[in-house]
Amino acid sequence: MWHNLPVVQPASRGPGRPPAAKAAETRKRILRAAREVFSERGYDAATFQAIAIRADLTRPAINHYFSNKRELYSEVTRETNEVVVAASIQRARRETTLVARVSAFIDAATQAEIENRTASAFLITVALESQRHPDLADGEAASVRSTREFLSWAVDEAIKSGELAADTDADALTSTLIAVLLGVGFYAGFVAKHELETVTRQLDQLLAGGLAPRPNKGSDVAHRTI
């Protein structure tokens, strides 16, 4: 009788990626969809249902990875800061002049925007949401704070090296550069994304001219005398 029983074979997973890889891909889809929905609707109007539809998943699937909207929003903010701001700063620190560093930051951020659709719009949205919801300000503070620290360091280095005049108002210049970068982010995210590369190219030229070293007065006088 035992010989006649069918032999049960172990279940086979079949072809395809392992569950861990599928989970990572699903999580990535959720974050990408959430960034789009948060950018378009803002924090209050964004819902798990809207994010699930955008990601082509069910709402329970979203809840499996993120228990609530605040957790999901924080993770999207952290990831976007890392991909755009942190990566751009890392790229810019390799340069040796203020103009080159700021240009490298802009170029890297532009490339990150091309590769991560809605990244600029989301970062601007985060800054706006921090005004409506002070409890969400940590994400905005992370991106702006790290950008300010980088620019402050770059300006100080430019003053030390003589690239900028010794009497340059470092704090004012740092704030101005941040305002410029936020403006580019807003333009890229909400106005004319298709013009981003042209705009950043023109901005590079403006920065190169506006931040160029002042001529030495003594040498200028000597040159005119000669």
Which residue ranges make up each domain of the chain?
74-215
Write down the pLDDT at residue 3.
47
pLDDT in tens, the chain (226 residues): 444 544 434 344 444 444 677 889 999 999 999 999 999 999 999 999 999 999 999 999 999 999 999 999 999 999 999 999 999 999 999 999 999 999 899 888 888 887 887 888 898 888 888 888 877 766 556 788 889 999 999 999 999 999 999 999 999 999 999 998 888 888 877 776 667 677 777 877 887 777 766 555 544 443 433 3
Tokens found for residue 121: 């719009």
Q: Position of tokens 């200028």?
A: 220
Q: How far apart are CA 172 and CA 155, in angstroms?
A: 10
CATH fold label, 74-215: Tetracycline Repressor; domain 2 (1.10.357)
pTM: 0.76
Write down the pLDDT at residue 160.
95
Q: How far apart are CA 82 and CA 119, in angstroms?
A: 11
Write down the pLDDT at residue 1.
45
Write down the pLDDT at residue 213.
62
Under 8 Å between Cβ of 150 and 105: yes
- E-state strands within 112-157: none
Q: Which H, E and C letters describe 127-171, residue by residue?
A: HHHHHHCHHHHHHHHHHHHHHHHHHHHHHHHHHHHCCCCCCCCHH
